[in-house]
Structure 1
Amino acid sequence: MIYYKTEAEIELMRESALLVSKTLAHIAGLLKPGITTLSLDKVIGEFIRDHKAEPTFLNYKGYPFNSCISVNDVVVHGFPDKNELREGDIISVDIGVYKNGFHGDHAYTFAIGEPAEDVMKLICVTKESLYKGIEKAVAGNRIGDIANAIQEHTEKKHGYGVVRELVGHGLGRSLHEDPQVPNYGRKGTGPVLREGLVLAIEPMINMGKKDVYTEEDGWTVRTVDHKPSVHFEHDVCVRKGKADVLSDYSIIEAAEQTNPNLNAKY
């Protein structure tokens, strides 16, 4: 079942999405070598509650943390822990909030210090691919048009591995709604996009092979070759002519650029 949102509902969803963006911007100001992802998760939970919302991920299907924090070869769903971040790490922070009856859910990948040049390129291309996909999120197109745009830019153009097992999704009163939004596929296939559909579009792109595995904790997903993976995600409402991006990377990017411990040169 695909749920289309009213204009009033879309504005409530924008509030939830923007709170995720603000939380990610707050975390961007704290990232540095030596900080633990567990301490970041605690800050995330407090920040969300201080803004009169709830962390969506906490206890979702048994997930035990406020956020998913995935470092280097972890694709998604990484458990925050007591390990310290190090110079050259890349870190994907994925956050969900529940406010006013609707969810916001998006992610951003940060570079600590000076990762290798090829890693920085992977970050750049993955972020570009997110916007390539968003360009196709307009009424009259199909899900396959979004998927194909992401795959063409990452796999076909740059030879990266596009994860098959994990996909984007519809978003609304539930965290995961129909339709699924893969990052690979053929143009002109899948459900038709109509105004009022809100999607979480989220390329998960590996430097090496596309294949992944899940650790014994039942959540943490890693690349099989242990090469880095990058994850970006925006909340997007389908409109005529041009997609309406409900989340806001500009405040995250501003915090990223003013933190001397982060590399935003890509």
Structure 2
Amino acid sequence: MAFSKPGIYKKPDELRRLVAPGLLTSASLDAVAAAIRPGLTTGELDAIAERVIRDGGGEPNFMLVPGYRHTVCSSVNSDVVHGIPGGRVLQPGDIVSIDSGAQLDGWNGDSARSFVLDGDPDDDRALVRTTLNRVTEQSLWHGIAALASAKHLNEVGDAIEGYVEEQGEFGILEDYVGHGIGRSMHEEPPVFNYRVRGRGPAVRPGLVVAIEPMITAGGIDTVTQDDDWTVTTVDGSDAAHWEHSVAVHADGIWVLTAADGGAAGLAPFGIRPVPIP
């Protein structure tokens, strides 16, 4: 992933400009969440997300990536990220990751959610997928909660890995990480989902990052399919992907891609997000 390299700390007015594209990104995923079910195609979900973004006055920012012509990435089962939407029909029990982004007035939002479709509740693989999805989502919130009090950015990855380790035998992808976000969808700095040497940049007002753990039920080795986009686990294990764009400001943090600013997700940690003034 190539990152653009503007200054990593935004001014207060720039933080305010990131609120609307974040909410529009969230709305596109809300629409997908309301529609997703067995029998739909990934292409139909893509059209739903695109309609919401364009009706909101925005532009799908994934379409601005050279060579990509879709609004979302739709990754099913052993596909981890960057799956191309199309004619694939979703099946009962599938785990489906939808990554979406909106650009509005030159500023960007980026977020992802995973869904386990209704199927046989007694099916062992469905149970594994449900657990995997819960662990991945909660690892994201552990990372966001860490950001709220962190001195340096790499504390986020430490919190994510620490939580995942406690949950059992799961893999954290290392070849794909989070990123800064602003005028470009992918900016410096990288946001690791695992422990690394070094502290990373200081966490201080103006930092805006997309935190996005990608967790597997098995190994972390991946291969890129012949379409040059879809990233799949080598061992065929299932994967989940959750992501939020988060702003640090003088009064606290605000999850830009959550309608409530992250209040529900952060409540178990005793953290109250503060709107950007």
State whether TM-score is above 0.5. Answer: yes
**Structure 2 residue aligned with 1:34:** 39
Matches of 1:35 and 1:250 in 2, distance apart? 29
- In structure 2, the gaps of 5 or more residues are 120-124, 262-277
Task: Report how many aligned residue pairs link the two structures.
Answer: 252
Is 1:204 the counterpart of 2:209 in the alignment?
A: no
Kept in 2: contact 1:138–1:241 (CA 8 A) = no
Matches of 1:119 and 1:19 in 2, distance apart? 28
- In structure 1, the gaps of 5 or more residues are 252-266
Structure 1 letter corresponding to 2:29: L
- The alpha-carbon distance between structure 1 residues 48 and 237, as it changes in their structure 2 partners (threshold 3 A), is same
Kept in 1: contact 2:28–2:50 (CA 8 A) = no
Superposed CA RMSD: 2.0
Is 1:171 the counterpart of 2:176 in the alignment?
A: no
Matches of 1:7 and 1:116 in 2, distance apart? 45
Kept in 2: contact 1:139–1:195 (CA 8 A) = no
Greater Cα offset, 170-179 or 7-16: 7-16
**Structure 2 residue aligned with 1:145:** 155
**Structure 1 residue aligned with 2:79:** 74
**Structure 2 residue aligned with 1:133:** 143
Greater Cα offset, 210-219 or 58-67: 58-67
User: Pick from 234, 238, 250: which aligns with 1:228?
Assistant: 238
1:211 Cα deviation from its structure 2 partner: 1.2
Structure 1 runs of 4+ with >6 Å offset: none
- The alpha-carbon distance between structure 1 residues 61 and 156, as it changes in their structure 2 partners (threshold 3 A), is farther
User: Pick from 93, 98, 108: which aligns with 1:93?
Assistant: 98
- The alpha-carbon distance between structure 1 residues 131 and 188, as it changes in their structure 2 partners (threshold 3 A), is farther
**Structure 2 residue aligned with 1:258:** none
Larger RCO (alpha carbons 8 Å, 6+ apart): 1
TM-score (norm 1): 0.89
1:43 Cα deviation from its structure 2 partner: 2.1
1:240 Cα deviation from its structure 2 partner: 5.7
Is 1:193 the counterpart of 2:185 in the alignment?
A: no
1:138 Cα deviation from its structure 2 partner: 3.5
Aligned sequence identity (%): 39
TM-score (norm 2): 0.85
**Structure 2 residue aligned with 1:20:** 25
